[in-house]
Structure 1
Amino acid sequence: MKKLLFGLLILTVFVSKSFAQNATEEQEVIQLSKDKWQWMADKNVNKLTPLFDDKSVFVHMGGSWGKTQEINVIKSGGIHYKKADIHEVSVNIIGNTAILLNRITLLAVVGGNEVINPFIVTEVYIKEKNKWILGSLSFTKVLTPNDAPH
């Protein structure tokens, strides 16, 4: 009986520690995502460059490309991510991969025109050497009742 109770105690401690670690990692990724939106708004490519993996991919309404082009688009103002209002966020961690979903309203300047779009944004982060890096950022436009076909 003592062995069973000891085993249950060890299992409880292990499960509690695992949940706490996952919750901490989820909060790290959520904060990193928020920081990323601010760095994008500030056109701070010095912070974004090490965050984006060299093999990262970016999917927009107008196309998809890699890290170099995304950094150049941000630096040049081709897309200026002025403000991302985050309405909902969730994170799923699978091993060393975190999948973050944001429901946002994005105020941006694209080709000189200010636009506001509702998006679900999927961000995939990979933990390497105890540090989260961005592997993918994808925008999916959400059809709100005002945007739905009549």
Structure 2
Amino acid sequence: MKRLFLLSGFLFICSLTAFTQNTKEQIKQLSKDKWQWMADKDVEKLDALFYEQAMFVHMGGSWGKERELNIIKSGFIHYKKADIHEVLEPIEIGKTVILLNRITLLAVVGSNEVSNPFMVTEVYVKVDNDWKMGSHSFSRLMTPGGN
């Protein structure tokens, strides 16, 4: 009986670990997809991903979901290419996952093409059975390597 109890406990812990790893991989893939959707100006997929009260922090200010989608759709900011240099291990807290990416972003802002190194913080929250982005913040790094 004691062996059965220990085996059950071990299997339970293994299943929790596998679930956590699966969630973290799912968020990493969702983030990667999001960068492509931004490059493609696919506001339909981004609209489904962004939480209604999501906030976006840029070098030039902060705003909500509707403005971010309009900026992407109009091309005022065109996220042409995000070169992802590093994806830190996601931090899972209940139904929230925080993901940091060190990137070099090639973008067109207004009519100017710019390239900047950023650490990007993405916050995802599980709503019903879907992951929604609640926050997306760009922190400009002083050097391309982030040191």
Specify the TM-score bucket, using the shorter chain as the normaliser: over 0.9
CA-atom RMSD in angstroms: 1.7
Which residues of 2 match residues 1-150 of structure 1 at below 5 A? 2-3=1-2, 5-90=3-88, 91-144=90-143
1:136 alignment partner AA: S
Which structure is larger by alpha-carbon Rg, 1 or 2? 1
Unaligned runs of 5+ in 2: none
Shift of residue 120, structure 1, vs aligned partner: 0.4
TM-score by length of structure 1 reads 0.92
Unaligned runs of 5+ in 1: none
Shift of residue 76, structure 1, vs aligned partner: 0.6
Partner of 1:107: helix, strand, or coil? Answer: strand
Partner of 1:115: helix, strand, or coil? Answer: strand
Question: C-alpha separation between the residues in 2 aligned to 1:35 and 1:14?
Answer: 31
**Percentage of identical aligned residues:** 59
The runs of at least 4 aligned residues of structure 1 exceeding 4 Å deviation read 145-148
Shift of residue 34, structure 1, vs aligned partner: 0.5
How many residue pairs align between the two structures?
Answer: 146
Partner of 2:72: helix, strand, or coil? Answer: helix
TM-score by length of structure 2 reads 0.94
